[in-house]
Amino acid sequence: MTNTPPTDSPIPNELRLATSLVLVNTGDGKGKTTAAIGTMVRALARGWKVACIQFLKSGDWKSGEETIGRQLGVDWDSIGDGFSWDSEDLERSAELALEAWELAAQRIAGGDHHLVILDEITYPMNWGWIETEAVVAVIRDRPEHVNVFITGRDAPLAIIDLADTVTSMTNLKHAYDSGIRAKKGIDF
């Protein structure tokens, strides 16, 4: 951090337009899904068709982002069954993750959406429930106008290499660490 404002422009000399982007929010800090939802709102404001597939969150959770997303016309699917440590059957959880991936792959390849959010897909990829190579192939071969936003901790290197923009959220302090429960309107 400096005490003086920059005087040299940080903008590269030559900029080009991209027909679509792959964005990744990873890391152990809060805000990965929240940032993706902010991008969802921007996309909707531009008239884009948006899909969001949640890989861990249950459709029973009724999160604030799902409620507003559906109201705004997002094709929203929460196919997971919750946190892995709450699962009564991890094999079933793995099956649900694969089902979510099959839908996500169809949504990406179908080309009907300008933005497809893959919320928390990194976890089932890292657990071996979804093949990273398959995810990379579908995203790499997507229709040229389809943007993809991936969230979740520990994004695999193959996903980071594929992405145009990668942000690592860092946890400096979190209310949960001091025993405060997740808060409606802030955390979900």
Question: Longest Cα pair distance anywhere in the chain, in angstroms?
Answer: 57
Asked whether residue 83 carries a pLDDT value surpassing 80, the answer given is no
Q: What is the pTM of this model?
A: 0.91
User: Which strands sit side by side in the sheet containing 75-80, from one edge to the other?
Assistant: 75-80, 50-58, 115-119, 147-151, 22-27, 165-169
Model confidence pLDDT, tens digit, residues 169-187: 999 998 988 899 988 888 8
Q: Give the whole-angstrom CA distance, residue 179 versus residue 159.
A: 33
On whether the 22-169 domain is CATH 3.40.50.300, my answer is: yes
